[in-house]
């Protein structure tokens, strides 16, 4: 009898304990919150990546402005590049082709051991920009400016 009363009292205490009650949220609500949390984490990561890209772009722009300032001062040479080759024989062939078309076709050493083929070389950015669109229209639309 004592055992029976003890079991009943224990049952009443345990059933009223908040640890054994069901949560106030449904499983759907919990899953929805977890999915929302994951989406927010992804968005935060994406925003951090965009912030890093923006910082890198600003750094590159600053470096370009410094290089441009040096170039306009007459310390550098500006080239319009129509081809970049690791293989020097390809660069020589393309250089000959450029010379046949009436361009400089000079080969200069570029970064990362590339051989850069020029359509022309200039003393200022302004002068090179005047010819860049013509080279893009008549030779190759991916021509670009390289500052030595």
List the domain boundaries for the chain: 76-147
Question: Is pLDDT of 17 > 70?
Answer: no
Tell me the whole-structure pTM to 2 decimals: 0.52
Residue 88 makes CB contacts below 8 A (sequence gap 6+) with 107, 115
**What was the pLDDT predicted at 55?**
79
Residue 71 makes CB contacts below 8 A (sequence gap 6+) with 77, 78, 124, 125, 147
Q: Is the CA virtual torsion 138, 143, 145, 148 positive or negative?
A: negative
Place of tokens 């200069």: 108
How does pLDDT run across 51-104, given as a tens digit for each residue?
A: 778 878 777 776 776 666 665 555 668 899 999 999 999 999 999 999 999 998
Rounded to whole angstroms, how far apart are CA atoms 57 and 10? 68
Superfamily of chain region 76-147: Sporulation related repeat (3.30.70.1070)
């Amino acid at each position: 009898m004592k055992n029976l009363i003890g079991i009943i009292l224990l049952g009443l205490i345990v059933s009223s304990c908040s640890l054994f009650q069901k949560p106030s949220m449904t499983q759907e609500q919990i899953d929805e919150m977890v999915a929302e949390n994951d989406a927010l984490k992804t968005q935060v990561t994406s925003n951090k990546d965009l912030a890093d890209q923006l910082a890198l772009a600003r750094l590159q722009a600053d470096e370009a402005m410094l290089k441009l300032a040096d170039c306009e001062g007459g310390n550098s040479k500006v080239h319009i590049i129509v081809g970049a080759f690791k293989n020097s024989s390809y660069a020589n062939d393309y250089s000959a082709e450029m010379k046949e078309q009436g361009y400089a076709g000079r080969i200069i050493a570029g970064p990362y051991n590339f051989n850069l083929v020029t359509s022309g070389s200039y003393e200022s950015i302004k002068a090179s920009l005047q010819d860049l669109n013509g080279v893009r229209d008549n030779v190759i639309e991916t021509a670009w400016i390289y500052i030595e």
